[in-house]
Amino acid sequence: MDSQGKYLYCIIRCPHERTFDSVTPMGNMPVPVFTVPHDGLSLVVSDSPVQQYETTRAHMMAHERVLERVMKEHSLLPVRFGTVADPGVTIQGLQKLLQTRVQEFHQLLADIDGKAELGLKALWQDEKAIFSEVLAENPSIRRLRDSLAGRPAQAVRYEGIRLGQMVKDALERKRKGEAAHILAQVQPIAVRTRENVVVGDRMVLNAAFLVETTREGEFDQAVRRLEQGLGQRLAFKYVGPVPPYNFVNIVVNWERL
């Protein structure tokens, strides 16, 4: 049987010991999710085998479910996924983590108090239509494409590579332009914005926004206006509130405790 340690989920303001019910912890074990308090702060933890948790969907969802449960009552600082304290780290050792970084954690909690993370992705509905726009907007690409039509692939290899790069660059310019237009509608509402890597050829924007909870409705309306105005062209995926993963990610270095 694996050694038992403590899985760390997040840090909250909570001066006392308590448990969070109605949530299954990492490892799918019949154990509680509970706090380890010190100096007005608490680590939210559960007993766990000492193992490396792979970033599978099941593990990620289990981690997030606990954070969502805690979020119902507290602002929180997410701890990096997969952080496990081994059996040599006692409750006093966990409290020492809070003690040594108490000012940092209090400041980070103050920064996110009264705010929520909202996520927005935008994807082109029809890639072929976008490619047609690129051709219409770039005569040089159109001329080069036409000049290669019907010629043996081996004979136009380098020109084909150049054409592909020209198309790629034109699509990237178009993507950046559309992303900038979307951001202009929602970014002023947010306190902070983080643009993440876009994945695949269809994705135009992948961004997270830290928004004051009093302005969530305003942000929702801005997204609805985008959907109404650009829905034929872009598909939007809007999520939140979620734990502030994009703005806080607590990493624990056990050797420094």
Q: How far apart are CA 178 and CA 181, in angstroms?
A: 5
Q: Please list the residues that pair with 239 across neighbouring strands.
A: 119
**pLDDT score for 131:** 82
Contacts of 243 (CB under 8 A, 6+ apart): 10, 64, 67, 68, 71, 76, 78, 117
Query: Which CATH number applies to 116-242: 2.40.50, 3.30.1240, 1.10.3470, 3.30.70?
Result: 3.30.70
Q: Which pTM was predicted? A: 0.82
Where do the domains of the chain lie? 4-113, 116-242
Predicted pLDDT at 253: 81
pLDDT at 128: 84
Beta carbons of 252 and 6 less than 8 angstroms apart: no
**What pLDDT sits at residue 1?**
41
The pLDDT value given to residue 228? 92
Phi/psi-derived region of residue 135, left when phi > 0, alpha when psi is between -120 and 50, beta in every other case: alpha
Task: Encode pLDDT of 133-171 as tens digits.
Answer: 877 887 877 676 667 676 776 666 777 677 777 778 888
Question: Residues near 257 by Cβ (< 8 Å), separated by ≥ 6?
Answer: 89, 93, 96, 97, 100
pLDDT along the chain (257 residues), means of 10: 80 93 85 92 90 88 93 93 87 90 93 93 89 80 69 68 77 89 95 92 93 95 94 91 91 76
The answer to whether residues 240 and 117 touch, using CB atoms and an 8 Å cutoff, is: yes
